[in-house]
Structure 1
Amino acid sequence: MMREILYRLKDRYHFGTPTFQRDDLCFVTVKRDELRAILTELRDVEGFTHLTLLTAVDWLEERLFQLTYLINNREANLTLGLRVMLEREDEPGATTGDTIHDLWPTAATYQRELNEMFGINFPGSPRVDEEFILEGWTDLPPYRRDFDSLAYSQQTYNDLPGRKTHDPRDHMKKALYPTYLKEAE
């Protein structure tokens, strides 16, 4: 059924090669300037009435942000992920996405989160500039890959006296494979 839906849309819209995770779950990359029309048609004609998730991936080396819109047709038990690539700007807030809160009101919450955590702005989305999760945050958005979490924690938090630090890899080997490590000695 998913293949039939994509086949009906392919003459009007430009899709990347679909990636089928299962018969009822597919991901496809679409052009940004076609996103709203595709989402509207999928909602109004094809029955994808539920926005399940809106999330982002920071492709730092490629200078791109990937937005993934996961929508669901409950009646047909189909889930479709639409991926859109945005040019990644260095300045938080300079990268903009297109708001879809008028199509799915729940998108406003996702868009607020992506603005705060990645620095992707969604002009026109309700309350997008209000603090959401990170009250008083003044640093680079923490989900961007160029955010240095180690440097931030060293600058922000004091070391506790007497605290021991363990290399996580060594600690997990000892915790998971204590017999094997003793035999190897």
Structure 2
Amino acid sequence: MMRDLHDHLKTRYRLGDLAERRGNLAFVDVERADLRALLVELRDVHGFTHLSLLTAVDWIEEGRFQLTYLMNNRAANRTLGLRVFLDRADPVGDTIHDLWPTAATYQRELREMFGIAFPGSPRVDEEFILEGWTDMPPYRRDFDTLAYSQQTFSDREGRETHDPRSHMAKKLYPEGQR
């Protein structure tokens, strides 16, 4: 069923291959220029009326961000994820708050946490979660959490730090058995 929809949409939009995760969940890559028209068609023609999630992944090695728009068709119990890739050096996405008002909240979060711009989205440049934050966006993979913690918080007596891999190995296999 998702394959039929994909084949139909591929005649008008630049789509990548369909990646089916299970019978009612699939993902497809879409060109940024086609995103808005595709979202409108999915909503108005194919019943994908619910924007479940808008999130990002930082593919630092590839120099890009992946935006994933998770669309749900409740009547058909189908979920489709549209993946759009943005240049990491100048990440600019297209606002869809006029299609789904809740998208404005997702876009504000992605602006603050990843530094992805969504021009025209309401209040996108206002502080949202990180009041007074002046460092680089903390969800970027090149944000150094250890350095930030060491610069921001003082050491506390009695605090121990464990390497997670060896610490869990000791917890799981106290006798050194594997």
TM-score, structure 1 as length reference: 0.92
Q: Can you list the C-alpha shifts for 1:114-166, whole angstroms capped at 9, x where unaligned?
A: 00000001011111011111111100000001111111011111111232222
Q: For residue 67 of structure 2, what is the aligned residue in structure 1?
A: 67
- Deviating runs (4+, > 6 A) in structure 1? none
Residue 79 of structure 2 aligns with an amino acid whose one-letter code is T
CA drift of 1:171 comes to 1.7
Residue 161 of structure 1 aligns with an amino acid whose one-letter code is E
Q: For residue 84 of structure 1, what is the aligned residue in structure 2?
A: 84
Q: For residue 149 of structure 2, what is the aligned residue in structure 1?
A: 153
Query: For 1:120, what is the secondary structure of its paired residue?
Result: coil
Q: For residue 126 of structure 1, what is the aligned residue in structure 2?
A: 122
- Which of the numbers 112, 135, 139 marks the counterpart of 1:139? 135
Residue 6 of structure 1 aligns with an amino acid whose one-letter code is H
Query: For 2:56, what is the secondary structure of its paired residue?
Result: strand
Query: For 2:132, what is the secondary structure of its paired residue?
Result: coil
For residues 28 and 176 of structure 1, the distance between their equivalents in structure 2, rounded to whole angstroms, comes to: 39
Query: For 2:62, what is the secondary structure of its paired residue?
Result: coil
User: Quick check: 1:54 aligned with 2:57?
Assistant: no
For residues 162 and 23 of structure 1, the distance between their equivalents in structure 2, rounded to whole angstroms, comes to: 51
CA drift of 1:3 comes to 1.4
Q: Can you list the C-alpha shifts for 1:9-44, whole angstroms capped at 9, x where unaligned?
A: 111111111100011111000000000000000000
For residues 110 and 21 of structure 1, the distance between their equivalents in structure 2, rounded to whole angstroms, comes to: 24
Gaps of 5+ in 1: none
Gaps of 5+ in 2: none
Greater mean alpha carbon deviation, residues 162-171 or residues 117-126: 162-171
Q: For residue 31 of structure 2, what is the aligned residue in structure 1?
A: 31
Residue 74 of structure 2 aligns with an amino acid whose one-letter code is R
For residues 158 and 11 of structure 2, the distance between their equivalents in structure 1, rounded to whole angstroms, comes to: 66
- Which of the numbers 164, 167, 172 marks the counterpart of 1:171? 167
Query: For 2:39, what is the secondary structure of its paired residue?
Result: helix
For residues 41 and 51 of structure 1, the distance between their equivalents in structure 2, rounded to whole angstroms, comes to: 13
CA RMSD after TM alignment: 1.2
For residues 160 and 15 of structure 2, the distance between their equivalents in structure 1, rounded to whole angstroms, comes to: 52
